[in-house]
Chain A
Amino acid sequence: MPSSEQLFRRQKILADFGEFALRCESLDAILDKACLQVAEALGAKRSKILEIQGDSCLLRAGRGWDEGLIGALRLPMKELSSESFAIKAGKPVITQDIHKEDRFQVPDFMKKAGIVALANAPIFLPGGKAYGLIEVDDTQARDFSEADTEFLRTYAIVLGPVIDRLQISTSLRSTEEQFRLIVESARDYAIFTTDQQDRIRDWYPGAQAVFGWTADEAAGEPAAILFTEEDRAQNEDKKEASTAARDGAAPDVRWHVRKDGSLVFIHGSVRALRDEAGVLLGFLKIGQDLTDQKRAQQRMQVLINELQHRGRNLLGVIAAIAKRTIGQGGPLDAFEDRLTALSRAQGLLSRSVMDPVPLSDIIRTELAAHVDLGSPKLSISGPSVRLKAAQVQNFALALHELATNAMKHGALREEAGLLFISWKTKGRGESRHLVLNWTETGVTLPQDAQSHRGYGRELIERGLGYAVGARSKFELGSDGVRCEIEMPLGDDRDQREQGPD
């Protein structure tokens, strides 16, 4: 029988441990303290705690053992060791002298350490799940008493719930940590929560990155501050929350407003948060910033509409040319020629849907269809000038008429014929003008020269003047055509920036 002094001392050990466990949040420190206390209480030099991990058990804590073994040594559960025997037995096991033990094998590390006697008790977690065991080992034969095993058993019973609490809080902490890491590293996603009244509660860094408000600024504000004025006027913010409250979730795909007033396109959803009883706690809102993609999509739509419009307009132009050419008894090949000139102009325009086209490209492309650009009969010169898309088509058609006539009746047909095309700009800014001269020389004019130039002359004198404000002079000189076209260019900088409305 233990002395009352011994009982008192062991009770005090348990009380001290209880107090320590209340304050300590580290499982390793708790287990180490337990090893220290049981070794001391049972007057042994060594003690250890084994933790079951799958089909082996780990030397999780210990006193008196080589430091390298703690946290590293594993004993397979299927080997019949003193430890696995005790865990399977589920009750305290005592071996007074291992030399006389026939129930199990003593592991090598125990033998090497000269262990002769041992006493242990299994540790159970609340609910009855086995955690492992706590054991004292001695290098001398020991007569462990029932009081000793009862003390160990009591200690193990106290230890179980303490281990359980720390394991749960550790796993919760790591879950919380993971959650925090995931949510805080999602910078392209605005993630935040609101309360029942849809006022902002949790505001994560992604939300700050997307919307511009800091967590301090956003907290407590109604989620409506993120909606555009128009959407607020339509109660879109309230509709979204009430849909989420009714259906569990609601899509949020719309333009929102940032702190600086700029717009951000969000593709996301709103989810109602409810407790276990189904009471609405608030909303979780997650959205991705797709502003760049949305803008690209909008620009694409504008371009598609522009192409659609241009295509249909072009059909109208072709129909008009057909009527003016074939409809008035003209030859089919004249229509085809005009069509190919139109096609060349479209080719220049299609290089870029909206950008202005270099004047020299228009001239060279048209002339190249009729004559070798390196021909000594031809001279093309002028500074770099760009025409707006709206000017290109009519200008190219007018040039085509001039070039065709020069081929058939003018400078490009005659042996002695020369064609000079030159241009310059005058004026600045809004009043900048192009002045282009088309001069043919060395031409013997036929009697009916006037009539051959009907359509070309109309296009130049009236067509260019109509929509693009050009002023043209067209005259038949004694040795060929002289044509001067003066056309407003507008500000050069505007031209480069011009785009769809």
Chain B
Amino acid sequence: MQGLLAGRSILVVEDDYLIAMDVDNALRQAGAQVLGPVPGVAEAMALVRTVNLDAAVLDVALGRETAHELAKELRARRTPFVLATGNVNVAGQPDFEGAPVLEKPVRSQDLVRAIAAIVS
């Protein structure tokens, strides 16, 4: 896994601290530069609009918000993203069309490979 994401800037949006730290750790070990992790849409949107991103990891349910608006913004910027979610029915939602869906609990190596695939 090491170096698979070397030099890539990856945004992590995840509302649960423990999972966010886990993802953060996994991506750093794969050589990525992690932006965030951030727990909500507003913080994520601020990063998306100000920083150059190679890809993003999105949790769909973010407290009382969802990642739909964020997904639209990323699409508009042609920034690829993967979904790491506990929601079972995100597949087929237009905002997320084409994005790989990883169901929680997500194994670190699966996440790293999925991101590597969309940034290459």
Contact = CB atoms under 8 A, between A and B. Distances in A.
Interface of A: 305, 308-313, 315-321, 323-324, 390, 394, 397, 459, 462-464, 466-467, 498, 501
B119 interface: no
A315 B21 CA distance: 15
A310 B59 CA distance: 13
Contact of A312 (B17, B18, B104): B104
Given A323-B22, A466-B20, A466-B39, A316 B15 contact: no
A466 B37 CA distance: 9
9 contacts: A305-B88, A309-B85, A309-B87, A313-B16, A320-B21, A323-B22, A394-B17, A394-B18, A501-B64
Contact of B86 (A308, A459, A466, A498): A308
Contacts of A308: 86-88
Nearest to A469: B39
A309 B86 contact: yes
B63 A316 contact: no
B63 A467 contact: yes
Interface centre among B17, B89, B104 (most CB of A within 10 A): B17
A315 B17 CA distance: 14
Contacts of B20: 466
B103 interface: yes
B105 A319 contact: yes
A307 to B, nearest CB: 10
A310 B18 contact: no
Given A315-B105, A390-B63, A463 B18 contact: yes
Contacts of B16: 313, 316-317, 394, 467
Contact of B17 (A310, A311, A466): A466
A462 B27 CA distance: 19
Interface centre among A310, A315, A394 (most CB of B within 10 A): A315
A167 B21 CA distance: 88
A312 B105 contact: yes
Given A310-B86, A459-B17, 8 more contacts: A308-B88, A309-B88, A316-B19, A320-B22, A324-B22, A390-B15, A466-B17, A501-B66
Interface string B5-25: 000000000011111111001
A315 B89 contact: no
Contacts of B105: 312, 315-316, 318-319
Nearest to A309: B86
A319 B39 contact: no
B64 A316 contact: no
A316 B104 CA distance: 6
B116 interface: no
Contact of B87 (A305, A463, A501): A305
Contacts of A390: 15, 63
Interface centre among A321, A390, A462, A466 (most CB of B within 10 A): A466
B17 to A, nearest CB: 4
B86 A316 contact: yes
Interface in B52-69: 61, 63-64, 66
B1 interface: no
B91 interface: no
Nearest to B107: A319
Interface in B76-97: 85-89
B99 interface: no
